[in-house]
């Protein structure tokens, strides 16, 4: 039974991974990755890692995938980039060579532990109770470091992706020149019948120095 489940889950995981790489549309790649993650969670369950499997489904297939889908929807699929160049050929070749080498190393090794089915099962292995106890006793420092890392990453992502005024303003200054226009067009005060003279006490903004000089004798105001 476990062998059948293993083959189904492994097939799903590997086909999902190949789908991520092969599919041209990034949105379909994200969906393939979600499928891959769920299959991988099944493999984790077969390895008696219940908490890791639950975290995989909730955090990865839930939260991270939603983030990906939002960004793909924002950026768009992009133009289908043509493949070319040396790396497009050498990359898959390198990957296949690495896979063959690793498979030979795994299957041909004489290590007894790899051939076996693992250590005898301890009740409660991989449950949140055990993992939580380990996180708060033995691995307390990595736990805290991970929380600080998450905080730094969240702040960094907000800083990176926010609508900034500082950097882009240097290249393309915001145009705020108020072009001269005929009277009784435009503002709500004029639409309500208030004469333009009524707002003479308002300080005029300083920016309309460029266009207003010869705009005035062209007869707008």
Residue from 8, 73, 136, 153 that binds other proteins (CB under 8 A)?
153
Q: How far is the CB of 95 from other proteins (least distance, A)?
A: 3
Which residue stretch of 2-10, 174-182, 193-201, 206-214 sits at the interface with other proteins (rule: CB under 8 A)?
2-10
Q: How far is the CB of 92 from other proteins (least distance, A)?
A: 5
Q: Nearer Cβ to other proteins, position 130 or 178?
A: 130
- CA torsion, points 39, 81, 162, 73, in degrees to nearest 10? -50
Contact at 8 Å (CB) between 46 and 3? no
| 175 belongs to the binding site for other proteins (CB under 8 A) | no
Contacts of 34 (CB under 8 A, 6+ apart): 61, 65
Backbone angles phi, psi at 203, to 5 degrees: -70, 125
* Separation between Cα atoms, residue 14 and residue 16, nearest integer Å: 5
Q: How far is the CB of 28 from other proteins (least distance, A)?
A: 10
Which residue stretch of 154-162, 185-193, 194-202, 210-218 sits at the interface with other proteins (rule: CB under 8 A)?
154-162
Q: Nearer Cβ to other proteins, position 154 or 177?
A: 154
Contact at 8 Å (CB) between 13 and 43? yes
Buried b (16+ CB within 10 A) or exposed e, 139-159: eeeeeeeeeeeeeeeeeeeee
Residue from 8, 73, 88, 195 that binds other proteins (CB under 8 A)?
88
Q: Nearer Cβ to other proteins, position 51 or 190?
A: 51
Structure tokens at 69: 């889908």
Q: Please, which of residues 46-65 interact with other proteins by CB under 8 A?
A: 46-49, 51-52, 55-56, 59-60, 63-64
Angle 140-161/128-136 helices, nearest 10 degrees?
A: 90
Q: Nearer Cβ to other proteins, position 74 or 206?
A: 74
DSSP state of 60: I
Contact at 8 Å (CB) between 9 and 47? no
Site string for other proteins, 111-150 (x = CB under 8 A): --xxxxxxxx-x--xx---xx--xx--xx--x---x--xx
Q: How far is the CB of 173 from other proteins (least distance, A)?
A: 16
């Amino acid at each position: 039974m476990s062998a059948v489940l293993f083959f189904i889950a492994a097939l799903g995981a590997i086909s999902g991974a190949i789908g991520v790489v092969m599919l041209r549309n990034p949105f379909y790649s994200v969906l393939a990755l979600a499928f891959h993650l769920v299959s991988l969670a099944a493999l984790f369950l077969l390895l008696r890692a219940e908490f890791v499997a639950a975290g995989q489904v909730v955090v990865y297939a839930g939260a991270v995938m939603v983030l990906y889908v939002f960004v793909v929807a924002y950026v768009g699929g992009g133009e289908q980039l043509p493949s070319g160049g040396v790396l497009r050929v050498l990359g898959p070749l390198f990957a296949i060579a690495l896979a063959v080498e690793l498979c030979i190393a795994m299957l041909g090794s004489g290590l007894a532990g790899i051939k076996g089915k693992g250590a005898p099962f301890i009740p409660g292995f991989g449950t949140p109770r055990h993992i939580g106890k380990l996180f708060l006793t033995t691995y307390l420092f990595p736990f805290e470091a991970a929380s600080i890392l998450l905080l730094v990453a969240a702040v960094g992502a907000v800083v990176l992706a926010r609508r900034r005024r500082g950097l882009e303003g240097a290249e393309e200054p915001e145009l705020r020149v108020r072009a001269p226009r005929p009277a009784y067009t435009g503002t709500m005060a004029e639409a309500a019948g208030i004469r333009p003279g009524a707002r003479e006490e308002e300080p005029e903004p300083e920016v309309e120095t460029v266009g207003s000089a010869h705009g005035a004798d062209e007869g707008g105001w």
